[in-house]
A and B are shown apart, each in its own frame.
Chain A
């Protein structure tokens, strides 16, 4: 392929996109829940930012573990324990490949993004001292705010916040200005859950690294939409959940650069994370087990591995083309809808559409949409400071996944027309 010829690349891209659109449409049948009805209407599921639905292969992977492999990992000499361990560790290899981590020891299985960030805030944060600074942004989810506030309370460090512009883009100049000699870490969302903004993380990481500051990326909303390469991004930590990535709830991954993880103290103590325990002195296990105390969510990790294989099989080129088309469709309809104000109009966006209606509260919109079979999120999206920034108490958020269709977009706007019918003209 002629990688350096943009015309050639564009032509290939167009051809590929047409074929992929057809292929991705067939993927909808992989998700059994999409066949059910809500209020006697076909389910239109547009709350993927909260959690995605699961393909049959993921559901089967979890059931298969319990039906055929169930045993504790890293313990027994018996056959089942070995098979369970092999399957669990194979999921780690899948996760390593999925985000292109350099080493499998850099993949720590956790309960989700929240636990991953808490792990870093506690363990890496053990070195914070009074006067140190932690830099986050104004568009973080509460899970990338509160763990750092707790770290500040323990250490006397201070939280600094990068402002967000009116269009929902991060103020890069302010980001650079806020990096100080006292900054110990940057906590930054890759994709905003409430706005859809895709942050220019490579540029921001380079700015931080130029000052020797490590960066944690909250990838919860990025992994379902974008191919992630932690080495190309050059991030130091990458946190994400399985359940937004078509995998089970209660699963997730913390990627950490090996040198950083090696230097960090354990967070939770217990079985599996130790090498030798005596009452005088305990030595800790190697990476990644040092950070996986207790019996992990074995079935969940295995099913998460299956979800990653599934997404890779669909392909991020196909996902980006399809979801991009859905977002353009929805954005055009939104701009034409009377009294609708989009919250988040960044140039680079994932397939998340956040909005308010001038005269109808988001909760009322949500109830009427639900009545019409359309599931969206309404509220503050666990980003109260961001809501305050935009002067709204709550927004309506439609967030798309690979199985959504243009019919789903049409159903959303038909349901919004119903809101106008109930509440009268704006």
Chain B
């Protein structure tokens, strides 16, 4: 039986309670909205890039501890990364939380605190909502991201599909 503390580690509780980089970003050049219709979680993500490098990331919205902490940790992890690095980080993070770990994963740093999500399939969408929204923002997708959208990437465990991730 998975331990609750694997899911709700102190760092997650902390970021869930006091999310970093929370609020709007006035000079963002990419924004996107994400929505999980199953639980009502919403996120608006603001990204500021220059010459392909992410200079700042902020977000607003409401959600559970897992989705809020994931967005908060993501916002910290992205600053200073190139857009290409962000996409690679997404792949590694996705593999981590779905339990489909690849042989060679990029180092994920603090994001690895969310590894426990893999033992709770019903919560994978909470952890990935911010990331799917990030990819939508980077490709300037105007339609809100939904965790219930079908796409060719295959199904996420514990759900009927996963959000568009291009």
Interface residues of A (CB under 8 A from B): 39-40, 359-364, 367-368, 370-371, 378-380, 384, 387, 393-394, 418, 422-424
Contacts known (A379-B38, A423-B8, A423-B13); A367 close to B1, Cβ less than 8 A? no
Partner of A363, one of B1, B2, B4, B64: B64
Residues of B within 8 A of A (CB): 1-2, 4-5, 7-8, 13, 16-17, 38-42, 62-66, 120, 122-123, 126
CB contact between A393 and one of B8, B13, B39, B123 (< 8 Å): that residue: B39
> B38 and A393: CB pair below 8 A?
no
Give Cα distance in the complex from A235 to B38, angstroms.
Answer: 33
Tell whether A361 pairs with B13 under 8 Å between CB atoms, given A384-B40, A393-B39, A393-B40.
no
Using Cβ atoms and an 8 Å threshold, which residues of chain B touch A362? 39, 64
Query: Do B13 and A363 touch across chains, with their CB atoms under 8 A apart?
Result: no
Q: Which residues of A sit under 8 angstroms from B62, Cβ to Cβ?
A: 393
Bound-state CA distance A367–B158 (Å) is 13
Contact at B13–A424, with CB atoms within 8 Å? yes
Beyond A363-B41, A363-B64, A371-B4, 5 additional pairs, beta carbon < 8 A: A363-B123, A368-B8, A379-B38, A380-B40, A422-B8
Q: Could you tell me the distance between the alpha carbons of A384 and B35 in the complex, rounded to whole angstroms?
A: 14
Cα-based distance from A423 to B10 in the complex (angstroms): 9
B2 cross-chain contacts in A, Cβ below 8 A: 371
B40 lies within 8 A of A39 (CB): no
Known contacts: A379-B40, A384-B40. The answer to whether A364 contacts B4 by CB under 8 A is no
Determine whether the beta carbon of B64 is less than 8 Å from that of A364.
yes
Give A393's nearest chain B residue, CB to CB.
Answer: B40
Query: Contact at B4–A40, with CB atoms within 8 Å?
Result: no
Q: Tell which of A360, A368, A378 touches B4, judged by Cβ atoms closer than 8 Å.
A: A368
Given A387-B40, A393-B41, A40:B1 Cβ within 8 A: yes
A380: chain B residues at CB < 8 Å are: 39-40
CA distance A378 to B40 in the complex (A): 10
A361 contacts B63, CB within 8 Å? yes
User: Are the C-beta atoms of B39 and A394 separated by less than 8 Å?
Assistant: yes
Residue of A nearest to B126 (CB): A363
Contact (Cβ within 8 A) A361 B8: no
Alpha-carbon gap, A185 to B161, bound state (A):
38
CB distance from B116 to the nearest CB of A (A): 11
Q: Is the CB of A422 within 8 A of B4?
A: yes
In whole angstroms, how far apart are the Cα atoms of A368 and B13 in the complex? Answer: 13
Give the chain B neighbours of A368 by CB distance below 8 A. 4, 8
Residue of A nearest to B40 (CB): A393
Q: Which residues of A contact B66 (CB under 8 A)?
A: 363-364
Whole-angstrom distance from the CB of B141 to the nearest CB of chain A?
23
29 contacts between A and B (CB under 8 A): A39-B1, A359-B17, A361-B63, A361-B64, A361-B65, A363-B41, A363-B64, A364-B16, A364-B64, A364-B65, A364-B66, A367-B120, A367-B123, A371-B4, A379-B40, A380-B39, A380-B40, A393-B39, A393-B62, A394-B39, A394-B40, A418-B4, A422-B4, A422-B5, A422-B13, A423-B8, A423-B13, A423-B65, A424-B13
Residues in chain A near residue B120, CB distance under 8 A: 367
- Tell me the smallest distance from the CB of A256 to a CB of chain B, in Å: 32
Name the 3 nearest CB pairs between A and B, nearest first: A361-B64, A393-B40, A363-B64
In contact, A378 and B39 (Cβ under 8 angstroms): yes
A99 and B125 alpha carbons, distance in the complex (Å):
42
CB distance from A384 to the nearest CB of B (A): 7
- A360 contacts B65, CB within 8 Å? yes
Q: In the complex the two chains form, what is the Cα distance from A387 to B40 in whole Å? A: 10
Distance between Cα atoms of A370 and B2 in the complex (Å): 11
**Which of A360, A362, A367, A371 gathers most chain B CB within 10 Å?**
A367
Instruction: Tell me, in angstroms, the Cα distance from A378 to B39 when the chains sit together.
Output: 8
Nearest-neighbor residue (CB-CB) of A422 within chain B: B8
Residues of B near A361 (CB, < 8 A) are 63-65
Contacts of B5 in A (CB 8 A): 422
C-alpha gap A370/B5 in the complex (Å) = 14
Whole-angstrom distance from the CB of A73 to the nearest CB of chain B?
Answer: 34
Asked whether, in the complex, the Cβ of B39 is within 8 Å of the Cβ of A379, the reply is: yes
A368 to B66, CA, bound (A): 12
Residue in chain B with minimal CB distance to A421: B4
Complex Cα–Cα for A40 and B63 (A): 29
Cα distance A368–B63 in the bound complex, in angstroms: 16
A365 to B, closest residue via Cβ? B64
Docked CA distance A380–B37 (Å) = 9
A-side contacts of B39, CB under 8 Å:
362-363, 378-380, 393-394
B59 to chain A, nearest CB (A): 16
Least Cβ distance of A50 to chain B in Å?
A: 13
Q: In the complex, which residues of chain B have a beta carbon less than 8 angstroms from the beta carbon of A40?
A: 1
> Of all chain A residues, which has the CB nearest B17?
A359
The smallest beta-carbon distance between A222 and chain B, in angstroms, is 26
Report the nearest A residue to B120, measured CB to CB.
Answer: A367
CA distance A11 to B119 in the complex (A): 54
Tell me, in angstroms, the Cα distance from A418 to B5 when the chains sit together. 11
Choose among B13, B38, B40, B63 the residue with the greatest number of A CB atoms under 10 Å from its CB. B40
Q: Which of B7, B8, B13, B62 has the most chain A CB atoms closer than 10 A to its own CB?
A: B8
The closest CB in chain A to the CB of B1 belongs to A39
Q: Which residues of B contact A379 (CB under 8 A)?
A: 38-40
